[in-house]
Structure 1
Amino acid sequence: MYLRQLQLIIVYTIAMLIPPTAMATAVYQCTVDSVATFSQLPCGKDAKEIKIPLTNVTQTANTQQSKDIMESVDNYITIQKVDREIALYQREIKQLQNTLAEQKTKINYMTQDSANKMGANSIADAIAQRTAHAEQRIESKIKQYQQQIDALNAFKAQLSQ
């Protein structure tokens, strides 16, 4: 019994001293709750296998291939950040559109007294003035956000090339 344990210990020790054979490494990429996830095992139905090429440890770390891989990873991460920024701007636009709709509803309940205080000839004129003012103010913000989205989409397209 003791001899068998000693043999196993010697075999394991020798096995630990022998360098492992070179094997390609596979990583799986999935999207879980809108977040890119990487795993050694398939992490979902949409798992994409990414082969990580073997690296010769005697080569320098700054080979063109490693630079390309790093650039590709950096671009992927940057594109993910850009997508989050675009989604944020789109939510802001939706919020502004809802705010404008609420303001228009409130404006439509204007009284004659409020119209008189504004110096308008009628309630309809006062409503038109207030609506135009609210639209101008909010739609200019929406336009700014849309320009930001367009610029981010152009940047994303540039990274994808």
Structure 2
Amino acid sequence: MKPRFFTLFTLVCLGVTLSKAANAAIYQCEKNGIVEFSQQPCGKDAKLITVKEQNPTLLGSPKPVSESSDVTAEIDNYIRLKQIDAKIAEHNNKIDSYSERMNNEIAALSSQADAQLHNLVGAKKEAAIAKQMSAVSERYNLLINNEQRNIDRLSTEKSQLVLQSNDTEQNEIDHFIRSEQIKREIAEHKDKIDRYHVELNQQIKRLEQQASTRPTNLVDASSDQALSDKMSAVTSKFNTLIAVEQRQIDRLNNELTQY
């Protein structure tokens, strides 16, 4: 996902547009990863946005300073919320990327370790690979946790901005729509957690079967330790993946309480 930036020109156009009418209509477009606003449709993907002012004055009449300040603050909040959503999406994309890379690296190491199953000389190598799998899980866990902290910080700021927004009828409609969307997202994350638990049990069971089917002369301390380390690495991997989903559920539940 390309990062989204809001230019000074965008802010000026948006402010000028909203100051001209009680119900100001603006168009939002994205060009080369940059979000733009305009009074006229700015592209095929133009989205119409109507910002409704509170207690609008008569057309042509000067606006009270307090009302103008409220409108400016509302615009600033709107823009910042969009920026936060874009940044949160970037961090989530990084988490998805780290999770995929972790899975791929551990799967490759697991295949290397399996190749040593019938090689007594390779028993120590198998144990070393198993420890390497644990190290991979730990490394990606640290990277993912860093992204999680960034998301938590942005989510806190977003919650504060939402609470500051005006309690209009339109906001109530938006809140209802968002609350229903949150409930669906929570259900999706719970389904992923359930799938991860099933996959974890399946992989641990396969490792246990490997231990029970090893030839007697290969069942030595090194091989047993290797299997134990592999089980720990697999468990650590799934704990990381499950923690990602649970963190998302916690954030969504926190957001749901605001509606």
TM-score normalised according to structure 2 size: 0.41
Whole-Å separation in 2 of the counterparts to 1:130 and 1:24 = 64
Aligned length: 128
Which runs of structure 2 are paired with 1:11-160 in the superposition (5 Å)?
24-29=21-26, 37=37, 39=39, 47=48, 49-51=50-52, 53-54=56-57, 56-57=61-62, 63-110=65-112, 112=116, 121=124, 123=126, 125-160=127-162
Residue 39 of structure 1, CA deviation: 3.9
5+ residue gaps in structure 1? 1-22, 113-118
Q: What letter matches 1:95 in structure 2?
A: S
Larger C-alpha radius of gyration, 1 or 2?
1
SS of equivalent to 2:124: coil
TM-score normalised according to structure 1 size: 0.63
Q: Deviations over 1:67-95 (max 9, x none)?
A: 11111111111111111100000000011
Where is the helix percentage greater, Structure 1 or Structure 2? 2
Q: Is the 8 A contact 1:27 1:40 kept in 2?
A: no
C-alpha change, 1:156 and 1:106, in structure 2 (3 Å) is: same
Q: Deviations over 1:27-83 (max 9, x none)?
A: 225665695755468x99x745334534634x67xx111111111111111111111
Q: What letter matches 2:23 in structure 1?
A: A
Q: Is the 8 A contact 1:103 1:134 kept in 2?
A: yes
Whole-Å separation in 2 of the counterparts to 1:153 and 1:104 = 31
5+ residue gaps in structure 2? 1-19, 117-121, 164-259
Percent identity at matched positions? Answer: 24
RMSD: 3.3
Residue 24 of structure 1, CA deviation: 4.5
Whole-Å separation in 2 of the counterparts to 1:32 and 1:24 = 21
Q: What letter matches 1:49 in structure 2?
A: T
